[in-house]
Chains A and B, each alone.
Chain A
């Protein structure tokens, strides 16, 4: 025996999971998605991703060294914020604006609340909401995907000087014999023109020069990986997509001429990305299983309502931010029922018991149960006086 003996309270063993492991797996699962985004839009997308991630890491580094936030740089969470922010921005977004959005994400989204675990809103969406308010034109300017030469030249707006207006993408597109409308997202086209893209084109994101994000199929696959390794809760995406789909389907059957079909609603815009990667952000979503269903259901419903009735073509971002804000309230009403306090006691019987669960001499274990107050000391068996051992 060595001279030093350590005393710690139980438990003395520890599961494998750590914050670093969870966050790094989210980053790994984001890599195929980022690759696809670069494949769609070329070096502009790559540059945007690098800039937003660098901005997030810089602010994180600054805030940790100055002690304004807890956590450390090794936890990968700032990388997730940077990558997700880039994925929600248009690929030709000016780099300096991307940098500002990245700084705002971490600074206003995370640092002022105290760092990892303390933020109320998803940092990437805070950055995007800021960009939406500050740069309304730039954030609405999409370019078509799969342009020839996308790996050789930047989209001109990308390289705008800081604090300067970006170059006009419409003129650039005209040079390429594409009309300006090619740059509108399918959602904007439906909202303002009444034109709908087919569901399969939206799901694969591969055909034509659609101005869309990463293929929802790929996102769902990466999300399925995360959910199967339990690095993400499957309930939230299921609830969001389910509730958005049902709401859209109800409205579609109500008036098919006015509302798009539910598949279009599900697979256009950022709904799948938001459902799988944004809304599932652990810090800003409820911890209770019941709360997750409520949270996801509310986000799905709000997304459809904002898209159909609001002024903006896209509603996922605000829906998730509202969901984040409601999370503490949702948790309050969705606390789990403790063992032995539920009303439906004993509904699920053992399937494979080799003995009768309720034999004839037991009426029904739980129904006929008397709950005596146990007075151990008073219930001595009868014994002769003075026969203590």
Chain B
């Protein structure tokens, strides 16, 4: 149905339209107070964990590196608060496992200013110097995947990048942190984009924004005007029709350019690099000052939250502190890190905010009541999931195979590996079958078998 979606002006085929529920879209970003204690897990990104360079009892200043690495696919961490290192050891993480973490007790009297960084002039720096500087900020993708940004901006020798695509879609319901960053920190974003372009050698930048955020487009266009030095036509901001999961880089590139990224390859195969707006805005602020990433904007929202909003949260702040401040309702039953479609429900409120957490979502019992009563039927083969899967898979057949544990066949004949777990199939399934959950299990089993063999 290429023609039909083309006539409807749809950006990419299939996908779903969940209710947007962006409660906090018009609220300015506020600052969360500093917690008495922060927990910085060493592994909060894709890649190897860095090693701690501080000792228990050592005093640290906000912004001081506390973990370093020599491994390219890893990032250093910086102290989010001025205080004293209290403990280095295992602490609970969002995934449920206990991971090596550094716990810092904040000095109550400290001003908590960033004192560490040295302002510097990067206007003449080369691409590799900028990459090195990005590495030193400890930046990872703030959209949720937490992939080290310097590695993402590194262009392999054989490839050439012409376009930097900036992802301002924020297609997940409830989340508004990228939206507010675009509106309030557009100047930083433009600065970050220009660093990104120099690091990759891109000659133009397209910022993709879903059309439910027209104020972000206005803000970015105004910032391009203000920057003045930007050559005409180098940076474009473009509205794309709102649809989940547009924030996936494959879908966004399809929406903006009408090209499919070939299966199994990255956007760099088409000469593009995709980055999140939050990442580039943070880079635009941190790089000239030579500072590290110590805080990020997090959307704290959900029905019943007393003071929902987008907050600048020091990394490592325990969820308990965040939720106490935002006023989580007494009858809340589920706390989710990330958005409602792909976010992760957490078991313990001692879990800290990490670099990849874009939102904290709280649901009460009554918000989930509708799902409780849903009956699970056998697949009635209505084809809703086939019409919803953005990757063009057949979740109906995959689900039937998964319930028979035919994982090999799912991977070989039905392209299970292409699934990026956006959850559209489970969202639309009228029979209430946990499709994407089964696919996660199947992918994990296949991965383990591949390792074992």
Contact = CB atoms under 8 A, between A and B. Distances in A.
Interface stretch (A180-188, A244-252, A268-276, A342-350): A342-350
Contacts of B250: 339-340
Contacts, number: 281
Interface string A1-45: 110111111111111011111100000000000000000000000
B343 interface: yes
Say what secondary structure dominates the interface of chain A: loop
A202 to B, nearest CB: 31
Contact of B382 (A287, A338, A389): A287
B334 A383 contact: no
Nearest to A69: B378
B331 A117 contact: no
Interface string B344-366: 11110100000000000101010
Given A285-B381, A287-B394, A15 B16 contact: yes
Given A5-B334, A289-B1, A337-B392, A376 B415 contact: no
Interface in A339-372: 339-342, 345-355, 357, 359, 361-362, 365-366, 368-372
A232 to B, nearest CB: 9
A314 interface: no
A52 B334 CA distance: 47
Contacts of B160: 370
A2 B332 contact: yes
Given A5-B347, A233-B383, A331-B397, A361 B434 contact: no
Contacts of A4: 333
Interface in B190-240: 203-204, 206, 233, 236, 238
Contacts of B270: 365-366, 369
A312 to B, nearest CB: 29
B437 interface: yes
Contacts of A359: 204
A340 B419 CA distance: 12
B18 interface: yes
B141 interface: no
B313 to A, nearest CB: 18
Interface residues of B, number: 120
Interface size class of A (residues with CB under 8 A): 35 or more
B233 A355 contact: yes
B391 A13 contact: no
Contacts of B164: none
Nearest to A350: B258
Given A117-B379, A338-B391, A354-B236, A388 B70 contact: yes
Interface of B: 1-2, 6, 9, 11, 16, 18-19, 65, 68-73, 76, 127-128, 131-132, 135-136, 138, 151, 154-160, 162-163, 173, 203-204, 206, 233, 236, 238, 250, 254-266, 268-272, 320, 323, 328, 330-336, 338, 340-347, 349, 361, 363, 365, 368, 370-371, 374-375, 377-384, 386-387, 390-394, 396-397, 414-415, 418, 421, 423, 426-432, 434, 436-437, 440
Given A5-B335, A339-B392, A341-B418, 7 more contacts: A12-B341, A13-B427, A75-B377, A117-B381, A287-B396, A289-B383, A389-B135
